[in-house]
Amino acid sequence: MSNDREIIINRAVQEIEEEMTVNLGIGMPTMIADKIPASKHVFLHSENGMLGIGPYPISGEEDPDLINAGKETVTAKTGASFFDNAESFAMIRGGHIDLAILGGMEVSEKGDLANWMIPGKMVKGMGGAMDIVQGAQKVVIIMNHVNKHGESKIRTACELPLTGEKVVDRLITDMAVFDFTEKGMVLTEILEGYDLASIQEKTEATFTVDEKLLEKEGSFSW
- Please identify, using beta-carbon distances, which residue of 107 and 176 lies nearer to another protein: 107
Q: With CB under 8 A as the contact rule, which of the stretches 2-10, 60-68, 182-190, 199-207 interacts with another protein? A: 60-68
* Closest listed residue to residue 77, CA positions, set 16, 33, 138: 33
Residue 29 CB, nearest approach to another protein (Å): 15
User: Which residue(s) pair with 113 in the sheet?
Assistant: 107, 164
Q: Is 161 in the site for another protein (CB under 8 A)?
A: yes
| Sequence letter at residue 6 | E
The verdict on 50 binding another protein (CB under 8 A) reads: yes
Neighbours of 98 (CB within 10 A): 18
- Considering only CA atoms, which of 69, 50, 83, 49 is closest in space to residue 127? 69
List of residues 6+ apart from 212 with CB closer than 8 A: none
Residue 91 sits in the site that holds another protein (CB under 8 A): yes
Q: Which of residues 95-134 bind another protein (CB under 8 A)?
A: 95-97, 112, 122-131, 134
Number of Cβ within a 10 Å radius of residue 91: 19
User: Rounded CA gap, 165 and 147, in Å?
Assistant: 22
Which residues within the stretch 131-150 sit at the binding site for another protein (CB under 8 A)?
Answer: 131, 134-135
Based on CB atoms, which residue is closest to another protein, 160 or 175? Answer: 160
- List contacts with another protein (CB under 8 A): 18-19, 21, 41, 43, 45-52, 55-59, 62-68, 70-74, 76, 78-97, 112, 122-131, 134-135, 161-166
